[in-house]
Structure formats: C-alpha cells, structure tokens
Amino acid sequence: MHRLLAALLAATACATIAQAQTSSPVDTGAAQPQSTSPALMGPAFTVDRALELAGVVSPALEAASADIRAAEAGRRVAGLRPNPSVTVEAENVAGSGPYRGTQSLEATTSLTLPIELGGKRSARIAVADARTDRATIQATIAQADLRLNVIRAYAEAASAERRLITAHDQARIANETLRAAQVRVQAGRASPIEAERANVARVNADAALTREERAVEVARFTLSRIIGQPIAGPLDTDWFSRVPATYGPLRPIDSTGTLMMAAANADFAIADAGVRLARSQRVPDLTLGAGARRLEQTNDTAAIFSLSIPIPMFNNGRAALSQATAERQSADARRRLTALDVDQAIARAQADAANAATNAAAASGPALAAAEEAARIARIGYREGKFSQLDLLDAERTLAGTRAAAIDALLSYHIAQAQLERLTARAPVTQGE
C-alpha cells in the first residue's frame, strides 16, 4: 500500500513539474483553498493603500519633518550677525563736594558692534547646511523604514489570512475524514481505533483553526495600528502570491548613493564643517565702539571711540580644534565601516530574496500540486477501503506541511525583498551635492 501511494505521488509530481516548466509565471494562488470566513470577505485592502494611509499618520514622518524645519531655522540663525550694544554711563554723580547731585554729571552714550573674524559666520552656515542635509536624508530614511515596516506587517497579516484559509480547509477535511471513519467502523470494515484517531485529528484541526483566527486578529490589529485605522475586507492575496518565476543572478553590489551611505557621508560633512568652525573660533573677534560724552559743567559734548580685543590667554581654541578633528576622524572611519556593512547587507538580502523566491516557487507550484493530488487520491482510496488510515493521515500531514512551507516561503520572500529595497533605496539630492 505504501508503495502504491509513493508511486501515485511520484507520477503526480512528474506531471505537475512538466506542466510548470512550460509556463514562466508562478501561480501560487491557483491551488489554494477558498475561505468562507466573513472576516475575509469583501474588496481587498491593498498594500499600496496601506502605504498611503501609513504615510499620513506616521509619527516618524512627522518627527522627521519637524527636524527638517528645525534644521532650516538653525540655518537662518547661523547666518545672523552679532547684535550691537548700546551703553549709557553716568559719571561724577551722587558724590560729595562739587560732585554732589548732578552738577558735575558726565553722561556717555556709546554704541558697540562686535566684528567676527576668521570666517566664523560662514563656518556656522556650513555646519547648519550640513545638518539640514542630514535632516533631509533622515526624513527619507524614515520613509524607507516606514515602507519596510508596512510591507512586513502587511505580509505577516496576509500570511496569517492564508494560514487561516488553510486551517479552515484542514478542519473541513478532518471532519469529513471522521465521518468516513465512523461509516467504516459502523460497517465493520475498520477498528473503532480509526474513528478515535480521526476524532483526535479533528480536535487538533479545530484547535489549529482557533489559533489561526487569533493570529489573524493580532496581525490585522498590528497593521491597523501602523496605518491608523481598522482594516475592512481581506488583504490582497494576488500580491502575496506573486513571486518571480526565475530570480536570476545576483546584481552587482554598489552601496554608493544608498541611504545608509548618504547618512554616513552627511555625518562626516557635519564633522568636517565642525573642524572649520573650531578653527575659526581661534581667531579673536573685535568689538568697535563709538559714542558721545556730555559734560554738565560746560554743557559740551565730546566723541568717544573704543576698540576691544580679547586676549586668548587661557582658552586659545586649541582643545576645541583637537576635539573637532578627532570627531571628523571618527566620522570618516564610521563612513568606511558603513560602506562595508551596507555591501554585505545588500549581498545577504539579495541571496535571501533569491532563495525565498526559489523556495516559494517550488513549494507553491509543483510540490503543492503533487501534495494536494496525493491527498485527494488518499481520501478517495480510504473511503473505498483501498488505502489504510495511516496512508491517509500521512498524505494529509504532507499536504499541511507543504502548504505551511509555501506560506512561509512567500512571507520570507516579501520580507527579504522589502529589506533589499530598503537597503538599495537611493538618497535624495541635498544642498551639499
């Protein structure tokens, strides 16, 4: 009997493999059972719609937008020049003798203006521009991360729905198998043990169905939290089932222009501008002053001019320049390290996506069709008394495992592909480029 079942499996597999080799697209949903669950009825909620809604309510995008506005405001602040100061002095008052009262008052009003030297203003602007570019890149990173999170949550919810469909079908089959076993027992063609064994399989199938229903609720709730509203209707099963028939060779690895490299380059640009700013701070600034002094006794007025130059005796800016130089060296080293990490991550993501696509195409195509055909033949043969119950249970377990493997492969493919898109996303053009 086992040899007969194995022969049927082999013949069915050969036929489905030959059929699959004549068609290029992978139809992963053709052999999937249909669900009658009310929660999965209605128009499909697509992944594009999920991405659109998530972009509207995402706190990460809102924070990134606020960071850009803050950086732009910082750029305006950096371009401002120092404010002048007005000083009013009163001398020779409230004394004794001829200086009693205000009869000998000397009032001086002066205006002082700091003069920045060493290119401090342009250095501040360079730092602010670099930070604005970094905020722009970070906003794009937030968008890419949000897209990855939405696709991952959507794929997990879609896989949970697909598992629920499979669990419904397995529960239906288990109930039919139980009824067939009871008929065989009542007819005296089988031992009561077969009915008990079929009942155990039914109980386990019902329990698995309950677990999958909870998993769908959790997955849909997680996705709804990301998009900011409840999900009505089923998810797009066509999107979840779509994988390339042939993935092809790995593409050349080039991290140049990716978001991660752009962020590392922006960090280095900030550190480099910080060195320029620290170097400019070593040049002392001048303070020019001009004013007028009024003499109470003669009612005369005289002009006053002043020039103030700080003496860099205790803080000459050397320590700050050393700190900024070390930070630039660190940023440059991290930039080179990021290039290595990104190249390796892209290579791994490409391999993961290719392997998942291959597994999904195999598990969802010929393997799944062969397992379904074998299970169908085993059910017919069991009802007719040609196959034993163990043969039937073995075929059903093979079918359930193949379906689960197909769903897992599809989920792995979509997550790996989304991760690859996240790693290879291109950086926006910034002011510094």
Secondary structure in 3-state letters for the chain: CHHHHHHHHHHHHHHHHHHHHCCCCCCCCCCCCCCCCHHHCCCCECHHHHHHHHHHHCHHHHHHHHHHHHHHHHHHHHCCCCCCEEEEEEECCCCCHHHCCCCCCEEEEEEEEEECCCCHHHHHHHHHHHHHHHHHHHHHHHHHHHHHHHHHHHHHHHHHHHHHHHHHHHHHHHHHHHHHHHHHHHCCCCCHHHHHHHHHHHHHHHHHHHHHHHHHHHHHHHHHHHHCCCCCCCECHHHHHCCCCCCCCCCCCCCCCEHHHHHHHHHHHHHHHHHHHHHHHCCCCEEEEEEEEEECCCCEEEEEEEEECCCCCCCCCHHHHHHHHHHHHHHHHHHHHHHHHHHHHHHHHHHHHHHHHHHHHHHHCHHHHHHHHHHHHHHHHHHCCCCCHHHHHHHHHHHHHHHHHHHHHHHHHHHHHHHHHHHHCECCCCCCC
Domain boundaries, the chain: 2-81+121-282+319-424, 85-115+283-316
pLDDT class of 20 with cuts at 50, 70, 90: very low
pTM for this structure? 0.79
Whether the predicted pLDDT of 68 surpasses 70? yes
Q: Which of 4-13, 236-245, 406-415, 417-426 has the lowest mean pLDDT?
A: 4-13
pLDDT tens by residue, 357-371? 888 888 777 888 888
The reported pLDDT for the residue numbered 243 is 82
- Superfamily the domain 2-81+121-282+319-424 falls into: Outer membrane efflux proteins (OEP) (1.20.1600.10)
pLDDT tens by residue, 271-323? 999 999 999 999 999 999 999 988 767 788 889 899 999 988 889 999 999 99
Does the domain spanning 85-115+283-316 belong to CATH 2.30.30?
Answer: no
pLDDT tens by residue, 283-293? 999 999 999 98
pLDDT class of 249 with cuts at 50, 70, 90: low
